Chain A
């Protein structure tokens, strides 16, 4: 395999709270190439924090420590805030879960997308508008001219999410971190949005970190999957092999899902083993540690 786009080693995220230190991420390492990497876990597993810490989006009292975070040959931890701003948005972009809370409510969606372009490119406003309309068409919005002038409250959830994706993709990033980008969408719209991301990875060679709680979706969409539990990666495997995962946590999650194809009497309920917090992990079907 060629050199990975992003390589993270020994990442820790801590929050100092009045009740003591909360360790949200406890020493995880992973690599993202020009592929779709799924990061799966339940709420509180640290999957969102793992994505945010790459872009240095965790503010005090949160504290991020890592042995290394190297993106395309650059040590991100060594960059100052000004240099980091060049990376953020331009080279690595992030799509948040909820378009309702992530878009500026008093600015038209078109102007917001154009702004993302203008920040990173020295062009005049008319060119940015032109590029924005192209981008809206690229994310399968039927009437870009009309949608350009709409405010966020005037667009549906699915369209809002596509606007977010257009905004994040317009600076042409090399790596996209997508945090539950389709969880709020209907299944058919979800498929269309995923197809857009899929094409960017396969046709343009973008890297994608796809953070999700939906095991079946990740299994069908991604190339590789890492499963997080209590701030650690407990299993990594090829997405196609997720159904034969070996870690008891992954197996428990899969078993707790109701299925369309075959009936199950009572759903199996996950009983959490305290040993999972620090016990052995599974890498490509092999027990480690």
Chain B
């Protein structure tokens, strides 16, 4: 469904240039959830932004659903690929009601039956019709993230790009949102790319993942390997160890990977 070949992203020019993504390649099959894991600055979100069309400065080859992507994306692309962002407090327009937030993509794409589609989308993410005319500030963090997912789903895309979708939520709310995403994927046959720093979330959601550091893919592995702790690269092993909890002895052994 998704193919990324030697993707390269650089911000700025000359001496101030930051080489955020350095020639990475991976592919995601239809109906799969692929995890992109890494620490801040590893370039994982930049990969997602290049794929979604939010960042036009990239080189390499990107293909989605057998279509090679250019710098400018068509309406059809955005109907196919939608994105859910990390911060539900920042990604919803504060002065638009839920109704308006969900109606806008429908209007852009000239899709009819607006009432029915909005009601269906809200019901699918577990929000009753009572939420339709509320503003973001009247919703909790989890409810806002449900609205953000509904906004992505209302166009009936095939691919969802998820950028840390539960990182700013409480753990009990995280469980609800992850379950919701899993159910929607099953029911609609969606393909996900999940970017996160949380290895436990990746282990729960994905079958395969790539670990990124300093703009490169350090290692691609299956979740079974992740669970067994049989990473091949030292960087992955250190990340895995640090994710298992605090340990004074392990803290002493940490090294920086460039």
Contact = CB atoms under 8 A, between A and B. Distances in A.
B178 interface: yes
A252 B248 contact: no
Interface stretch (A2-10, A103-111, A166-174, A258-266): A258-266
A187 B179 contact: no
Contacts of B250: 191
Contacts of A256: 171-172, 174-175
A203 to B, nearest CB: 12
Interface in B176-218: 176, 178-179, 182, 197, 199-201, 203-205
Contacts of B254: 188, 191-192
Interface of B: 39-40, 141, 170-172, 174-176, 178-179, 182, 197, 199-201, 203-205, 226-227, 238-240, 242-248, 250-252, 254
Q: For the side of the interface on A, what is the size category?
A: 35 or more
B227 A188 contact: no
A267 B251 contact: no
B204 A267 contact: yes
Which one of A190, A194, A267 has the highest number of Cβ atoms from chain B below 10 Å of its Cβ?
Answer: A267
Contacts of A217: 245-246
A191 B170 CA distance: 21
Contacts of A257: 171, 175, 200
Given A187-B242, A264-B204, 9 more contacts: A187-B243, A188-B238, A188-B239, A191-B251, A192-B251, A258-B204, A260-B200, A267-B204, A270-B172
A258 B203 contact: yes
8 contacts: A187-B197, A187-B243, A191-B247, A221-B246, A252-B172, A253-B171, A259-B204, A260-B226
Contacts of B172: 42, 252-253, 256, 269-270
B197 A269 contact: no
A259 B203 contact: yes
Contact of A195 (B174, B239, B252): B252
A259 B200 contact: yes
Contacts of A252: 172
A164 interface: no
A157 B240 CA distance: 21
Contacts of B247: 191, 220
A180 interface: no
